[in-house]
């Protein structure tokens, strides 16, 4: 049966994530993540999220602009990071789009440094992709380090 992840206080949209297509799972090393229960082709809209606009970061926010964040502790906030992700996030349209084929059972992943100036909780990435950047702390910090170097 198809159920919403979002409470009734959040308006519905035709592409919102639902329980027929996604599952939240716990993984021992990475915490919770979002698994796809269906296949997506490159270019498909994976989901359109929604949430509460905040002036502060939480573990479940993405940055819309400096000092403005959107908080979705239900789905978007649980998407794991990869340096070689299978989706890209359009933060203005609140859309996750497949940039690789996604199979039933795959984790949905995004690159946190595409939206976040500074991460709420920096971490050492273990995505094991050849282009893994290691410490993921936010695009402002990575950029600053590039300038210094």
In angstroms, give the least distance from the CB of 32 to Zn ion: 18
Q: How many CB atoms lie within 10 A of CB 131?
A: 7
Count of H-run helices and E-run strands, the chain: 1, 12
Query: Does 127 contact Zn ion by CB under 5 A?
Result: yes
Stretch near Zn ion under the rule CB under 5 A, chosen from 25-33, 47-55, 85-93, 119-127: 119-127
Identify the DSSP state of 56. S
Binders of Zn ion among residues 32 to 91 (CB under 5 A) are: 83
- The Cα 142–Cα 107 span in angstroms is 25
Query: Does 125 contact Zn ion by CB under 5 A?
Result: yes
Q: How many CB atoms lie within 10 A of CB 1?
A: 5
Q: Choose between 52 and 106: whose C-beta lies nearer to Zn ion.
A: 106
Stretch near Zn ion under the rule CB under 5 A, chosen from 51-59, 85-93, 107-115, 126-134: 126-134
Q: Work out which of 100, 132, 140, 141 binds Zn ion, going by CB under 5 A.
A: 132
Using CB under 5 A as the criterion, which residues of the chain lie in contact with Zn ion when the complex forms? 83, 125, 127, 132
């Amino acid at each position: 049966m198809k159920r919403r992840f979002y409470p009734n206080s959040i308006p519905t949209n035709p592409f919102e994530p639902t329980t027929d297509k996604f599952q939240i799972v716990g993984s021992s090393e990475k915490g919770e993540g979002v698994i796809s229960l269906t296949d997506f082709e490159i270019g498909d809209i994976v989901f359109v999220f929604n949430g509460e606009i905040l002036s502060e970061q939480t573990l479940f926010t993405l940055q819309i602009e400096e000092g403005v964040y959107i908080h979705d502790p239900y789905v978007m906030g649980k998407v794991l990071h990869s340096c070689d992700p299978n989706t890209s996030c359009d933060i203005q349209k609140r859309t996750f789009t497949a940039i690789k084929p996604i199979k039933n059972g795959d984790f949905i992943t995004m690159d946190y440094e595409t939206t976040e100036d500074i991460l709420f909780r920096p971490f050492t990435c273990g995505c094991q992709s050849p282009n893994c950047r290691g410490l993921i702390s936010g695009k402002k910090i990575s950029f600053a380090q590039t300038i210094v170097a």
